[in-house]
Structure 1
């Protein structure tokens, strides 16, 4: 697999985005800490770009902010444009599991659909503990290469290349690559606004 160069300053992009979203919602650090389960001091470090948060921490923040994880990687004031060019698509590597995610969808475009590509290392595991989210969030995982296991609540699904799993994100979810080779999959997220 070829080496993928990540955008310099991704932690700064996340910092600005979290700060911007928290400000738009009128949340104090304390309020976001209560809503997300992430400590006030960790949020402060993230907002200053002084931390490389894991996917699990970012998912908690996204849930507390009422947005998808993919939203945290968008430019804060992204000009809506219907085309997302490959060189402009944001990539981020989870410091805990090593998985690489790339936002494929055009940033800032007014659409309830987000597409993310993931390269998941051999034996990697990520467990998102958050369950209920504002509104209803549908997600489909389409495996392009390799094998992954997805545990949604008490259900376990083994997915191989070509398989697609549809789900509602209303329970804790774990992704695991049980093999000795990387897997690559596409995640399509559709969020409906809270009622």
Structure 2
């Protein structure tokens, strides 16, 4: 398990460095755009820190990508359109035990990303990245259990079979109020256009 976690951290480090370089951003520039300190970004890029979901979401927002994109591979022409379960990257938030699995075929060019999430009993995961470099649309479909999903100031209670569509342009929070794990699918898409509320921090 420890080796798997180290491998994920190494892949995440390389992906973050590549995305930052593609956008011509220095460590200071990404720190300004994301609200994450330069020293923390440096640690993540060297694979010396296991960042929380909240920190990763802020980095993704600063880079103009989705959180799922941080765990994805760069697009390539020879990528398979099929993602076998054994090849799907799984990551656990060290702060909450929340687990996410990238379902989409790695490296395959597509505007849609699919992620499966397991939220442990009682867990809360909050994302405060209201300001994003690009607009991201998201839908959440409950496979099993119940979650309370807060978007801005509104909270939606979702049960098995429910689906919520939302734009990631304000703080969001996920809470599992029950004593069993909740499972849900997240579908995300971004077209790269600047978000209406995008500002430099």
TM-score grouping bracket, smaller chain normalisation: over 0.9
Where do 5+ consecutive residues of structure 1 fail to align? none
- Secondary structure, aligned partner of 1:9: helix
Q: Is the CA contact 1:7–1:91 (under 8 Å) kept in the aligned structure 2?
A: no
User: How much does 1:171 deviate?
Assistant: 0.8
Q: How does 1:26-175 map to 2 (within 5 A)?
A: 26-76=24-74, 80-175=79-174
1:77 to partner: Cα distance: 6.2
Cα contact 1:140–1:166 (8 A) shared by 2: yes
Structure 2: gaps of 5 or more residues: 195-201
Q: CA deviation at 1:96?
A: 0.6
Cα-Cα RMSD: 1.7
Deviations 1:118-155 (A, max 9, x none): 01100000110001323321111000010000000011
**2-structure distance, mates of 1:38, 1:173:** 18
Q: Partners of 1:107 and 1:134 in 2: how far apart?
A: 23
* Deviation by residue 1:42-64 (Cα, 9 ceiling, x = unmatched): 00000000000000000000011
CA distance in 1, matches of 2:142, 2:12: 27
1:140 aligned counterpart, secondary structure: strand
Matched, 1:9 2:7: yes
Q: Secondary structure at the match of 1:58?
A: helix
Aligned residues: 192
Task: Please give the TM-score of this superposition, normalised by the length of structure 1.
Answer: 0.93
**Deviation readout 1:24-75 (Å, 9 max, x if unpaired):** 1111000000010000000000000000000000000001111100011123
Distance 1:63 1:168 in 2: 13
**Structure 1 residue 107 displacement after superposition:** 1.8
More moved, 122-131 vs 133-142: 133-142
Inter-partner Cα distance in structure 2 for 1:118 and 1:157: 17
SS at the partner of 1:92? strand
Normalising by structure 2, we get a TM-score of: 0.91
Q: Is the 8 A contact 1:7 1:90 kept in 2?
A: no
Q: Are 1:176 and 2:179 an aligned pair?
A: no
Flag as ranges the 4+ runs of structure 1 deviating above 4 A: 5-8, 76-79
